Chains A and B, each alone.
Chain A
Amino acid sequence: METFHSTINNQLNTGVLILDLDLNIVFWNRFLEVHANQRASEVVGRSVFEVFKELPRRWFERKVTGVVQLNTPSFCSWEQRHHLFELPHTRPITTDSHFMAQNCTFLPLAPDGVIQHICILVEDATDVCHYQSMLQKTLADLEQANRIDGLTQVYNRKHWEECLSKEFDRARRYQHDLSLIMFDLDHFKKLNDIHGHLCGDMVLIEVAKTIRPLLRSCDFFGRYGGEEFAIILPETNITGAADVAERIRQAIRLNVMEYQGVEISASVSVGVGEFEPRTRRYEDLIGNADAALYEAKSGGRNRTCLFKDSVVCL
């Protein structure tokens, strides 16, 4: 039996560390010998804190006290504490973590009913940890992709509308200012017809890029559809929003782009709406800004119109 035990102990892919109650090392198996690169003979009799200087001493002592006093096992997972012992792992090339992620189990050893030793099992959780973090990253990427318009990298219609709904509720509840800018590229169909759809795509990308720096980080910039964009401006009244709208219109007008050696210039028609206490639904706010945008279009394009009771053009 004794030989079975020692054979298994040495083949085990788990670290087995036994300490006495003064936290001196009594035993460690081959797993720890090779991972810590120290023979059992070199460490037996030494304090665990001397061999593993990185151990959080106070925490470790309190943990062991619990195990001894309550005669219960205690656990320490990589999810909360990446590792306890600074050990290398077997995937140093294909993972980015420096030390082995560990699940540690503290067990009271009381063969005669009196606890004299503590056994600490150290399991390598590097793989799990690695795949878990890859999964987290993928989920975060997916969530991001779900919100973003692939072409222009601004918010897509769905996410933008969710943001509007939230901002609208907030503005209604606390009676805060909230404005909406909607704008549309002028003669976009003609541009596509003359220069092709790839040129149209380039213009959409350029327009989004030009406008981004004109906005605050708290504004929500989205592609409403086709060549129509929309911006939510929290804490902004219609006067402030009109300023932003004019800056956008001028910036697009002045930005000369180039497509296959040909200079391309564009313009936008802009409609601005403002939240008013009587506005019941966020859709009404969109409707108002859209009505102003329609006036800007029919009034000759490349202009900004505001919806205040009725539409006023700048």
Chain B
Amino acid sequence: MTAFNLNEDQQDCLQELINVAMGQASDQLARYLDTFVHLRVPSIEQVSTTSLSNSLNKEQQSVAVVSQGFLGYEGIRGEALLVYQHKDSDCIGNILGYEPDELSVEEQLIDLSSILTTTFLNVFALQIDNQMSYNAPRLLSSGQDALAVYLQQLSFNCDMALKVKITYQVTDYSFNCDMILLIPESAITNIKAVIDRILADY
């Protein structure tokens, strides 16, 4: 146990905040995309950045990873990785309501990633009386073993990270993707402070 570990109450509280945000995000996305979007119960874990490579590597062979940084008040910040599998990248244009020739697959991936990330984080931010700003999303890599290749090139500048993984499912299109929120060590303390405040108000 390090000083950064969330205790049981903090973990439960964060889980609850995320659950509520997932519910609202799923509702908003369903209305915008005109199809049901399921967000699967997240896994929350603290990982050392060295084991992070391994745990992310175990994800199935991914074909595309899109990264988008987020930044809020009170030192809440991190990076959202959207991880796509090969079979799922074909139908994104349909889900988004674009015509096939209107945009490239890369642009579809980035567009959808941005929508999923910002919709979820906006409602999450509301839960904690915060407001997020976002970087432009970037396609980190695409092709076979995209995530593995990306992780190889990654140099971490912190030892620990809080990892929240949420799986999105659009059943009408049998589409799945994973959103992995990574919150760096320095921001975990800030998140804990926010959680403690909410717990105290409770």
A residues neighboring B (CB under 8 Å) = 56, 58-59, 62-63, 65-66, 69-77, 79-81, 103, 105
| B73 in the interface (beta carbon within 8 A) | no
Using A58-B102, A80-B104 as known contacts, say yes or no to A69 and B32 having CB atoms under 8 A apart: yes
- In B115-131, which residues have CB < 8 Å from any A CB? 115, 118-119, 122
The contact of B98 among A62, A70, A71, A73, by CB within 8 Å, is A62
A-B contact pairs, 16 of them (CB 8 A): A58-B99, A59-B103, A62-B97, A65-B32, A69-B28, A70-B29, A70-B119, A74-B114, A74-B115, A75-B110, A75-B114, A77-B138, A80-B104, A80-B107, A80-B110, A81-B107
Interface contact B115-A72, CB-CB below 8 Å: yes
What is the bound-complex CA distance between A77 and B137, given in angstroms?
9
Interface of A is mostly: mixed
The contact of A66 among B102, B107, B115, by CB within 8 Å, is B115
Using A58-B102, A59-B102 as known contacts, say yes or no to A72 and B114 having CB atoms under 8 A apart: yes
What is the bound-complex CA distance between A59 and B99, given in angstroms?
8
Interface contact A70-B118, CB-CB below 8 Å: yes
| B134 in the interface (beta carbon within 8 A) | yes
Interface contact B110-A77, CB-CB below 8 Å: yes
What is the bound-complex CA distance between A146 and B139, given in angstroms?
28
Q: Which residues of B contact A80 (CB under 8 A)?
A: 103-104, 106-107, 110, 139
Interface contact B139-A79, CB-CB below 8 Å: yes
Which residue on chain A has the smallest CB distance to residue B31? A69
Interface contact A62-B119, CB-CB below 8 Å: no
Q: Which residues of A contact B138 (CB under 8 A)?
A: 77
The 7 closest A-B pairs by CB, nearest first: A72-B118, A80-B107, A75-B136, A59-B102, A69-B32, A80-B106, A70-B119
Interface contact A74-B111, CB-CB below 8 Å: yes
In the complex, what's the smallest C-beta–C-beta distance from B28 to chain A, in angstroms?
6
Instruction: Mark each residue of chain B from 23 to 35: 1 if its CB lies under 8 Å from any CB of chain A, else 0.
Output: 0000011011000
| B158 in the interface (beta carbon within 8 A) | no
Q: Which residues of A contact B122 (CB under 8 A)?
A: 70-72
What is the bound-complex CA distance between A153 and B29, given in angstroms?
56
| B96 in the interface (beta carbon within 8 A) | yes
In the complex, what's the smallest C-beta–C-beta distance from A54 to chain B, in angstroms?
14
What is the bound-complex CA distance between A66 and B113, given in angstroms?
13
Using A62-B98, A80-B106 as known contacts, say yes or no to A75 and B137 having CB atoms under 8 A apart: yes
- In B34-64, which residues have CB < 8 Å from any A CB? none
Q: Which residues of B contact A79 (CB under 8 A)?
A: 106, 139
In the complex, what's the smallest C-beta–C-beta distance from B96 to chain A, in angstroms?
7
What is the bound-complex CA distance between A63 and B28, given in angstroms?
16
